[in-house]
Structure 1
Amino acid sequence: MRGGPDLRLIAAHELRLAWRDLHAMLTARRRWKTRIVVFWLTLAIAFAHLVAWCIIEPASRDGLVLDRAVLVPLGGSLVLTFAVMLSQAIEQVTRVFYARGDLDLLLSSPVDAGAVSAVRIGAIALTSGGMMMLAAAAFINVMAALNGVSWLAAYLVLPALSMASTALAVLVACFLFGAFGARRTRLIAQIVAAVIGAAFIVGVNLAAVLSMQGYSRVRFFRSDGVMALAPGESSLFWWPVRALAGETAPLLTVIVAGTLMLAGVIVFMHRRFASIVLAASAASRMQRGTGGRRHRFAVDNPTRTLRQKEWLLLLRDPWLVSQSLMQIFYLIPPAAILWTQFGSGGNPGILVVPVLVMATGQLAGGLAWLTVSGEDAPDLIASAPLAPGRILRAKVEAVAGAVGLVALPVIILLAVHSPHSAAVALVTVMIACAAATAIQLWFRGQARRSHFRHRQTTSRIAALCEAGVTISLAGAGGLWAFGSLLALLPALLAAGIMLMAWRLGPGGDTGCRMYRAAGRGVPARRFAPA
């Protein structure tokens, strides 16, 4: 077979897979009627446009002129977008190397390996750009409605940035393979992706905190120091921003540059791409030797053994780093707030507590999904000499221990500055962790750990309830740290969401009874669903 037919064949195959994944994401892998899906999509699109209108309309009342006051915030947002694209592309390229799916079958077939590599690289660029356009579509449409249709050129700029970020991601992945080998690259690439994705937003927030601009990125971008360091309005540095506004020369330059970067990487690196896939395949199947170590067998507490097993699986999870490390990075600016305000009369808990609750709540939900729904050996665990409630308690304790390892340093630092805020943070973090874990117990199902990235698609209700409870508790914690009785309102909202999740969850009552039965030796069949 020749390259042309191979390219069309593989491209059609990738389009079918992309459509299947999109359909599964929208329907949560269930049989929904088309009108129901369309109704909820329309509602989400309308809400997104309403939010975009409320943000953009005040700044557009007197007309939008591309002066330095507008170029700097837009440029910062564009750099943030590119950093997120590059982070996602590095993670996706690495995932293609190791979690290949049907790639082994394609490379062993008579299809040209170069065509397979070219299509896979192009698919990464298409996926990254498509997701970013969906996220920014409401803001682009509102900008075009308020400031002219030329802003619709952003729909051309984002794919160009996606092509450029994918090209850089392939180069970074190939460099890591050459420098560190196939065995270490998976972990290092995830760390690099998380650092790139969080570096700009965390760096800007950190700079805003250190420059006493608070926690607002917009205020930092418009500060006198940033404005003084920014290039002039006629500088080529602002061409990507001017391309968003539809200026012809910058728009053509950005599109051509992104296309040439991706085409060059595909032409010169597609053979290297295929060889790396084979090397990663061999490395992932190699078993680590014992190295002459002798393992001592000892009888230990079964609950402690199960808890240690969960921690060991979390440490060994190959893709957990890229999904959770970014949430940990977001705790750096709150720690900087505590450091800069140490000894002052302010109350940093108003900003620190909500961010800490949001980060730990999301982390607890992800870890709870891995330990409960992502159990790879449920039959083996069920046959252990433990009551179901004790097994469940060990899993919950494993999640709480992992979250506490992240949250306690920030809480201790906060306690040195404000014991009241530290107590509020401790209580709200514990409640957020318990709430996220309970929701995962009520909506638990059986899934593979490799599906961790798509855990939100298994139950839309669980994902919405988890997000709503975390946001409500974050607001309650911030108001409580401020000393306002208004904290009761978001707290009651969180309680209402939890009650709704308990009533809607298929395993709500079952999970509670299993946990209360810990230590009583209740057989597992008593809690089996009807």
Structure 2
Amino acid sequence: MTVRALLAGRPGSTWWLIRHELRLAWRGVGGKGIKLLLVLLLILGVALHAGVYGLLAKLPEGDMPPWALFALGGAAYVVISLMLSQAILQSVSALFDRGDLDLLLASPLPTRSVFMARGLGIAISVVGLYLFMLAPLAHVGLFTGHANLLAIYPTLLSLALGVTALGIWLTLLLVRWLGARRARTVAQVLGSLVGAALFLASQAQNMLGEAQRKQLTVLVMRWLAPGGPLSEDSPLWLPARALRGELLPLLAIMALGVGAFWAVIGLAHQHFLAGTQESVSGSVKRGVAAPSAGSVRFRAGLARNVLVKEWRLILRDPQLITQTLLQLLYLTPMLFIALRGDGRAAVMLMPAVVWLATSLAGSLAWITVAAEDAPELLGGAPASLARLRWLKLLAALLPVWVLVSPLVVVLPGHDWKQGLIFIVCLVGGTLSVGMGLIWYPRQGKRADMKTRMKGHGVVGMLEALLTFGWAGLAYCLGSPPAFNYWPLALLAVLLGMGVTWLLGRSRREDGSLV
């Protein structure tokens, strides 16, 4: 048997399925721009190795200084949290979104091999980026007297297996508690929240006052002292000790990661089989009885019905809900900073809020205006198509305005001029981005929300110009040093709106939607 045949694996074996998972992951990462991606990775890899060499060359050979333990520990927990977020999302994709699980489960392949391959595929996909970022420590350490850093490889791989097991186990629990369909939505939101929690933790000091920050610093130093919960001999630093090559912690991390992964795949694949069959077959129990004759009442009012219909569709979109929640989490530190009453902070935060709100309004407007599932039905409705589109735009903008309404009161403080500037830029930015979808009509799908500007490159640049233009206008009008530059920001806004209107003129006249 040739080496190529050995690498290919026996058809139906676990390794054969793993190769298939790796092939799909590689296609998803690279696509048509794989050559450019490889060149960029090569340049970034060389830069990382050079930077790491400059750091490790200054350290004495052999044992690393005490601060390295805390640095490696912080990096380890950041990586673990990010990998957990990805593992949950990847588990949802592997079990529900790819749509090939029913075919594999109906084949003569052992279900254990199917889930083993899926699990290993998830582990490899979540660890790839962090292994690329931390591997230079191992490579450079080999030539600078820190060969023990080669333990980064087995440690990260073991952590990836353990985190993948946790992600799959959480998905399993959600399937058992909520059913396969609801579990998919909840798991997507949970995965995004885990990643966003890291951002909130990084902004903790900014959300605290000066007195609280001093108290927190004293508390952390007390915990780091010998005998404290975060001292050097604390079990919490086990991943850091494994990363720097200590034998017993390394063996413990490997045993925990591999053992957890093996246990989840070996003991839970039958539960996944039972849970995902609901998603495959589409058979779910009705939680609410079917409406009886005469029990459903239709209310009059075109505006009300259009708004309610669009909001219901938005609430049924887990991806959009997740993005909205992330936007809210990113706004949370800004609210705390504004509550401290720092006027200079408000000047910087107002354009940031305008930028976030405008971006969110663009996404919602794409869902309501462009991603209409039945445009021909709207065209045949006994109502003006222009009025329907403006109502759909209003359905996208109202939730954004409601979400940021507390900041409208808090950020400007007691300065009514700042408040007026903030309101004008906020309403202007969200409205102009949404109007761009009416002035330049185009049709798409909800799933294309993140890539909605592909094929409309000029329109994408104009939307970005509007977003940054309104944010820049809010900054220039609210900041005395930059006040003289407000005509440039206003010019960018007017240019973006005018060009969008002119480009879409023929499409509006022809009724084009593509």
Where on the TM-score scale, by shorter chain, does this alignment land: which range? Answer: 0.7 to 0.9
Contact 1:160 1:254 in 2 (8 A): yes
Distance 1:209 1:298, change over 3 A: closer
Q: Pick the aligned partner of 1:165 from 147, 163, 166.
A: 163
Q: Which moves more between the two structures, 313-322 or 431-440?
A: 431-440
Q: Which moves more between the two structures, 492-501 or 245-254?
A: 492-501
Q: Trace 1:195-234 onto structure 2 (pairs within 5 A).
A: 195-212=193-210, 223-230=217-224, 231-234=230-233
Distance 1:280 1:156, change over 3 A: same
Q: CA deviation at 1:277?
A: 0.5
Contact 1:87 1:196 in 2 (8 A): yes
Contact 1:304 1:394 in 2 (8 A): no
**Paired AA for residue 308 in structure 2:** Q
**Paired AA for residue 334 in structure 2:** P
Question: What SS does the aligned partner of 1:348 have?
Answer: helix
**Paired AA for residue 241 in structure 1:** A
Deviations 1:23-71 (A, max 9, x none): 44x55xxxxxxxxx63476468758987x79998998896599656555
Question: What SS does the aligned partner of 2:173 have?
Answer: helix
Distance 1:497 1:475, change over 3 A: closer
1:526 aligns to what? 510
**Paired AA for residue 296 in structure 1:** R
Question: What SS does the aligned partner of 2:261 have?
Answer: helix
Q: Partners in 2 of 1:60 and 1:471 — Cα distance?
A: 41
Contact 2:362 2:430 in 1 (8 A): yes
RMSD: 4.6
Q: Pick the aligned partner of 2:106 from 105, 108, 114.
A: 108
Deviations 1:453-500 (A, max 9, x none): 6657777887777667656755664565443316838x8479659968
Q: CA deviation at 1:313?
A: 0.8
**Paired AA for residue 258 in structure 1:** G
1:13 aligns to what? 20
**Paired AA for residue 528 in structure 1:** S
Q: Partners in 1 of 2:138 and 2:217 — Cα distance?
A: 24
Question: What SS does the aligned partner of 1:484 have?
Answer: helix
Q: CA deviation at 1:415?
A: 4.3
Q: Pick the aligned partner of 2:177 from 157, 179, 185.
A: 179
1:423 aligns to what? 420
Q: CA deviation at 1:367?
A: 1.9
Q: Which moves more between the two structures, 62-71 or 86-95?
A: 62-71
* Aligned length in residues: 494
Contact 2:30 2:37 in 1 (8 A): no
Contact 1:67 1:233 in 2 (8 A): no
Q: Partners in 2 of 1:493 and 1:453 — Cα distance?
A: 26
2:315 aligns to what? 315
Contact 1:89 1:124 in 2 (8 A): yes
Question: What SS does the aligned partner of 2:295 have?
Answer: coil
Distance 1:289 1:80, change over 3 A: farther
Distance 1:53 1:108, change over 3 A: closer
Q: Partners in 2 of 1:59 and 1:280 — Cα distance?
A: 51
Q: CA deviation at 1:408?
A: 1.2
Q: Partners in 1 of 2:436 and 2:53 — Cα distance?
A: 38
Q: Which of the pair has more CA radius of gyration?
A: 2
1:395 aligns to what? 392
Q: Pick the aligned partner of 2:407 from 385, 407, 410.
A: 410
Contact 1:69 1:222 in 2 (8 A): no
Deviations 1:189-246 (A, max 9, x none): 34433332222331442354225399xxxx9999444233232335443342354556
Question: What SS does the aligned partner of 2:203 have?
Answer: helix
Q: Partners in 1 of 2:315 and 2:321 — Cα distance?
A: 9
1:328 aligns to what? 328
Q: Partners in 2 of 1:375 and 1:354 — Cα distance?
A: 31
Q: Partners in 2 of 1:354 and 1:145 — Cα distance?
A: 43
2:373 aligns to what? 376
Q: Partners in 2 of 1:247 and 1:53 — Cα distance?
A: 23
Q: Trace 1:222-261 onto structure 2 (pairs within 5 A).
A: 223-230=217-224, 231-244=230-243, 250-251=249-250, 253-261=252-260
Q: Which moves more between the two structures, 279-288 or 180-189?
A: 279-288
**Paired AA for residue 81 in structure 2:** A
Q: Partners in 1 of 2:215 and 2:113 — Cα distance?
A: 44
Q: CA deviation at 1:251?
A: 4.9
**Paired AA for residue 325 in structure 2:** L
Q: Partners in 1 of 2:513 and 2:448 — Cα distance?
A: 24
1:294 aligns to what? 295
Q: Partners in 2 of 1:143 and 1:213 — Cα distance?
A: 41
Deviations 1:135-186 (A, max 9, x none): xx3x765997699586676565444333222211122222233334445434
2:274 aligns to what? 275
Distance 1:356 1:252, change over 3 A: farther
TM-score normalised by structure 1 residue count: 0.74
Q: Which moves more between the two structures, 78-87 or 4-13?
A: 4-13
Q: Trace 1:430-441 onto structure 2 (pairs within 5 A).
A: 430-434=427-431, 436-437=433-434
Q: CA deviation at 1:349?
A: 0.7
Seq. identity, %? 27
Point out where structure 2 has 5 or more consecutive residues left out of the alignment: 1-9, 225-229
Q: Partners in 2 of 1:56 and 1:493 — Cα distance?
A: 41
Contact 1:56 1:143 in 2 (8 A): no
Point out where structure 1 has 5 or more consecutive residues left out of the alignment: 28-36, 515-523
Question: What SS does the aligned partner of 2:411 have?
Answer: helix
Deviations 1:62-120 (A, max 9, x none): 65996565554553443233222212322332344443512222222333222222222
Contact 2:188 2:319 in 1 (8 A): yes
Q: Partners in 1 of 2:311 and 2:203 — Cα distance?
A: 32
Distance 1:66 1:311, change over 3 A: farther
Question: What SS does the aligned partner of 2:210 have?
Answer: coil
Deviations 1:381-423 (A, max 9, x none): 3333444543432332222112112111222232455544443
Contact 1:125 1:163 in 2 (8 A): yes
Q: Partners in 2 of 1:461 and 1:213 — Cα distance?
A: 50
